[in-house]
Amino acid sequence: MNDIVIKYDTLALTQQVLERQHGHAQQMASYIRAQGDIGDATGLLLQVFDPLSRAAVQTAGYAMDALASLEQAAAAAVGETAVDFRNQDGSVSDFFTTLGGELGACGGAAGPTGPYPDLRGPTLPAAGESAGGDHGDVNSFIWEKGADTVGAVGDGVSDARQLIERVGDLGNGGPVREQVDATSFLVAPSNPENPVQDLRWSAGAILGSIDWVAEQFLGYSILDRCIYHPFAGDWEAIFRASEAWSHCGDACFALARNHAGLVASTAQTWEGLSGHSFRATMTSVSGGALGMQYAMGYASDLVKNISTACKLAATGIGMALNFIVNKLLKMAAQAATPVLGWAVGAVTLYSDIEAIVKKVKLIYTIIETIATAIEGFAEGKMALMDKYEVIADVVSGFGQSATA
């Protein structure tokens, strides 16, 4: 515990790893802000989701900004540590060299002379791993996520210390290097099928020419009330956002692995108080990144719930619309047939209208299930807030330590 062992190459490589993490965190902040939010929120349902989504994306962006600032400060601190050690070691060397020279005149031997160590060190190689070639594929995203590099290493990991042990067990306690290229997980979300868009088009096609009958008998347009008004907006953004949250979560886990790798790989070549303090901080950062991965994965699942609810709703509403169309066509035909049609229509009109109203109420109920799924996203926002506060505390603690 009282030993001081420092390899300048360790400090140089560590600084480069942290500088890369700074770049990753910056790109993650830009990515979640660009891909995690929705644009067109004109519809009734998306108007409910939009403020929740914006708040969650804003929180995640702030967390990544804070992490980027921490990486930058940590990289600078490691560089300053190397300079301080070199200067201190060099000044002591200069002192004894001078003293030895003076003693040499009295028969003593002068100490060795030479330039101070070069702190540039070796160039950090590319990361040892990156996202798989099928990362971001829709099928892979849903069913084969466990096969991803990050997912495989993270199996069974619940906190930073377990992750550090896992990284050390994998033989990464040797030379300092970047374990995973976090940015490689930030692929553009795919554009899956859009059942809401299909529903809007098909509803307009089958109801467009007969919706006037509903307005005459019910007093409102079924298309406007059940389709266009609640389902307006960019629903593809919902599906894309689910993937974006997941991809950014994977990148957070990659950051956690990289900081865990620094803990494991510096233990033998950077001993002393500064090394111990550095590893304690890296453990905290790794834990904060793991927390963000959990929160972003949770947000992804909640958005996916909204997506699933939309797909099921589109099927149910489509079936209800077919029933309504058949009833409206029947009512229109009876209304167009003089005398006899009116007589028959008078007998069945009430039951037909009642059946249509029931289907409209069913559509309202289906729409409410989507609204419930959207409101559940608020839980994801709170989870992000909790993890952001952890990262903010780490940043604040690091800043106070650096200025103490």
Tens of pLDDT along 8-46? Answer: 899 999 999 999 999 999 999 999 999 988 766 667 777
Which range among 115-124, 180-189, 243-252, 395-404 shows the weakest confidence by mean pLDDT? 395-404
Q: Output DSSP code: residue 325.
A: H
The predicted pLDDT at position 146 comes to: 39
Half-sphere exposure of 112 (CA within 13 A, CB side): 4
C-alpha to C-alpha distances, 91 to 96, 110, 194, 329, nearest whole angstrom: 9, 16, 69, 96
- In angstroms, rounded to a whole number, what is the distance separating the alpha carbons of residues 173 and 246? 29
Higher pLDDT: 225 or 138? It is 225
How many beta carbons lie within 10 A of that of residue 89, not counting itself?
Answer: 14
Which range among 127-136, 198-207, 346-355, 383-392 shows the weakest confidence by mean pLDDT? 198-207
- In angstroms, rounded to a whole number, what is the distance separating the alpha carbons of residues 333 and 295? 56
Higher pLDDT: 174 or 247? It is 247
Question: What band does 212 get if pLDDT is binned at 50, 70 and 90?
Answer: low
Residue 198, beta-bridge partner list: none
- In angstroms, rounded to a whole number, what is the distance separating the alpha carbons of residues 383 and 351? 50
Residue 166 has pLDDT above 60, yes or no: yes
The predicted pLDDT at position 329 comes to: 75
- In angstroms, rounded to a whole number, what is the distance separating the alpha carbons of residues 173 and 156? 20
What's the one-letter identity of residue 40? D
3-state class of 6 per DSSP? strand
Question: What band does 373 get if pLDDT is binned at 50, 70 and 90?
Answer: confident
Tokens 């995203």 belong to 141
- In angstroms, rounded to a whole number, what is the distance separating the alpha carbons of residues 303 and 248? 14
Region 216-241: mean pLDDT is 74
Yes or no: say if 241 and 56 are a contact pair by the CB < 8 Å rule. no
Q: What pLDDT, in 10s, does the model give residues 252-274?
A: 999 999 999 999 888 888 988 88
Share of the chain above pLDDT 70, in %: 69
Q: Crossing angle for the helix pair 8-35 and 44-104, nearest 10 degrees?
A: 170
Highest-confidence segment of 59-73, 107-121, 124-138, 163-177: 59-73
Residue 141 has pLDDT above 60, yes or no: no
The predicted pLDDT at position 132 comes to: 77
The predicted pLDDT at position 144 comes to: 39
Residue 198 has pLDDT above 70, yes or no: no
Q: What pLDDT, in 10s, does the model give residues 72-94?
A: 999 999 999 888 888 877 777 67
Three-state secondary structure of 234-299: CCHHHHHHHHHHHHHHHHHHHHHHHHHHHHHHHCCCECCHHHHHHHHHHHHHHHHHHHHHHHHHHH
Residue 400 has pLDDT above 60, yes or no: no
Q: pTM for the whole thing? A: 0.78
DSSP-assigned states of every residue in 88-122: HHHHHHHHHHHHHHHHHTTT-------PPPPTT-P
Tokens at residue 131, please?
């996202």
- In angstroms, rounded to a whole number, what is the distance separating the alpha carbons of residues 188 and 193? 16
Tokens at residue 13, please?
């490589």
| Own/partner pairs, 168-173, CB within 8 angstroms, 24+ separation | 168/264, 172/128, 172/261, 172/264, 172/265, 173/264, 173/265, 173/267, 173/268
Question: What band does 297 get if pLDDT is binned at 50, 70 and 90?
Answer: confident
Question: What band does 334 get if pLDDT is binned at 50, 70 and 90?
Answer: low
Share of the chain above pLDDT 90, in %: 18
Q: What pLDDT, in 10s, does the model give residues 298-317?
A: 888 888 888 777 777 777 77
The predicted pLDDT at position 355 comes to: 80
Region 40-61: mean pLDDT is 79
Higher pLDDT: 11 or 165? It is 11
Question: What band does 186 get if pLDDT is binned at 50, 70 and 90?
Answer: very high
The predicted pLDDT at position 64 comes to: 92
Q: Crossing angle for the helix pair 273-336 and 195-207, nearest 10 degrees?
A: 10
- C-alpha closest to that of 36 among 53, 24, 49: 53
The predicted pLDDT at position 337 comes to: 59
The predicted pLDDT at position 322 comes to: 78
The predicted pLDDT at position 71 comes to: 93
Region 366-375: mean pLDDT is 78
Gap between the terminal Cα atoms of the chain: 22
**Mean confidence (pLDDT) of the chain:** 76
- C-alpha closest to that of 387 among 304, 297, 303: 297
